[in-house]
Amino acid sequence: MEVRPNTTSDNSSITQDHHQRFTPAALAKQPAASLNTVDTTSVSQRLQKELMSLMMSAGDLGVSAFPEGQSIFTWIGTIEGGKGTMYEGLSYKLSLRFPLDYPFKPPQVKFETMCFHPNVDQFGNICLDILQDKWSSAYDCRTILLSIQSLLGEPNPESPLNSYAATLWNNREDYKKMVHRQYFAGEASES
């Protein structure tokens, strides 16, 4: 013998209640815990892997980076000016601040050493597409540093943060003098 639940002839209240719980408006009110939680452990693990990779291979490329202090989310990077560029023989320090949702968002990267360049402003901010709208989670710290190192020798004067540097770019001799003047003035002020 089969036992069936007692049903009324009017199931409309049950059906109506069922549909109300799963409407888009009702779903929007429910907390999206999986979307808002941040797994800092996986971000930390990724950054540790990137650090190991940099330590193993980057020294010969003229780029390096290490965590600053105890936080894996704040690094200090170094870029050597590329051979044959106006920056050859110069070493630049950068700060890298990784967001908690890295690698889905790019880190904030700034020059800490004074850098005269069309795509670097007086505060060290960098205009580089991969740090903004062209960011990909496939990029890593090494890619960022190498891209900035490449940018030193191949600026984009069409999108300047420093318009004076952009106009001076075509006059190689005067440009190189300004690069060295700002670099060494910055080093003197740091001492």
Residues 110, 93: contact at Cβ < 8 Å? no
Question: Dihedrals φ, ψ of 135, to 5°?
Answer: -65, 145
pLDDT in tens, 100-145: 999 999 999 999 999 999 999 999 999 999 999 999 999 999 999 9
* pLDDT class of 95 with cuts at 50, 70, 90: very high
What pLDDT, on the 0 to 100 scale, is given for residue 21?
Answer: 42
The active-site residue, picked from 115, 127, 144, 168, is 127
Residue 165 has pLDDT above 80, yes or no: yes
pTM: 0.77
Residue 36 has pLDDT above 80, yes or no: no
Tokens matching residue 110? 């700034």
CA separation for the pair 130, 159 (Å, rounded): 14
Residues 166, 118: contact at Cβ < 8 Å? yes
- Among this protein's residues, is 127 annotated catalytic? yes
What pLDDT, on the 0 to 100 scale, is given for residue 58?
Answer: 54
What pLDDT, on the 0 to 100 scale, is given for residue 82?
Answer: 93
Mean pLDDT of the chain: 84
Residue 29 has pLDDT above 90, yes or no: no
Q: Which domains does the chain have, with CATH numbers?
A: 41-190 (3.10.110.10)
Long-range residue pairs from 81-85, CB within 8 A, at least 24 positions apart, any chain: 81/149, 81/152, 81/153, 82/149, 82/150, 82/152, 82/153, 84/153, 85/152, 85/153
Tokens matching residue 172? 């190689």
pLDDT in tens, 67-93: 999 999 999 999 999 999 999 999 999
Residues 149, 79: contact at Cβ < 8 Å? yes
